Amino acid sequence: MNQTTHPASQRQYKYYDFIMAAFVAVLLCSNFIGAAKAAQMDLPVIGVVVFGAGTLFFPISYIFGDVLTEVYGYGRDRRVVWAGFGALAFASLMATVVVGLPAADGDFNQEYQKHLQAVFGITPRIAAASMLAFWSGSFANSYVLAKMKIATSGKWLWTRTIGSTVVGELVDSALFYTIAFYGIWPTAQIIEVTIAQYVLKTGWEVVMTPVTYKVVNFLKRKENEDWYDRHTNFTPFRYRV
């Protein structure tokens, strides 16, 4: 297996583009389909838990980030994060324009406009919070995993996938709820919701660890790649590998 330590080559991979597409799809769907719904579940021991429905799926983007960094390296994950950021920015712009356009006459169109507003009516503040939190959390996740891989010499994958998510999700959750709702919600409520979402998202990573192992092992074998970021430029402000 190719344990790459030199600067990124121009080699092509069979599955990289598919993972990028899946990552962007999960990111957009979790932000625009699930984000507007507050769901409720009655869990054993814990009791009633209220959470954003998108929380069930958004952590999958962090699993993709773990897989990308572990197999292909920080530089190629950075490209995927920027692709996701661009897609999220465009989706936010499109939602703002579509919802802002005057609805045509007729009862159906006027009623439909209300539903569009309820589901896709996103304020600039929340859109900015979502994009900044995603961008910061994703790069924190990738950076921690890449550094831990070197420190552990590629052993104990579970420590990297969980450890990086602990950091990345903390950055993501803290930034989003603080930027989006500070001054609107009571500070105590922001802290409470942030902690609840953080625990749920991080818990997903722990539960999905066996799946992450299978995907990582499959890709390393099929791609003949196992990247080590020993000579990587870790600045997030570039698109090149």
The predicted-structure confidence for 21-76, as pLDDT tens digits, reads as follows 999 999 998 888 766 676 777 878 777 877 777 777 888 999 999 999 999 999 99
Model pLDDT for residues 129-152, shown as the tens digit of each residue: 999 999 999 999 999 999 999 999
Give residues with Cβ within 8 angstroms of 58, minimum separation 6: 26, 27, 30, 31, 34, 201
Alpha helices (H) along the chain: 16-32, 59-72, 74-100, 107-120, 124-151, 157-181, 187-207, 209-223
pLDDT computed for residue 109 by the predictor = 94
| pTM to 2 decimal places | 0.89
Average pLDDT for 83-93 = 94
| pLDDT > 90: percent of the chain | 66
- Domains of the chain, first to last: 16-223 (1.10.1760)
pLDDT computed for residue 42 by the predictor = 83
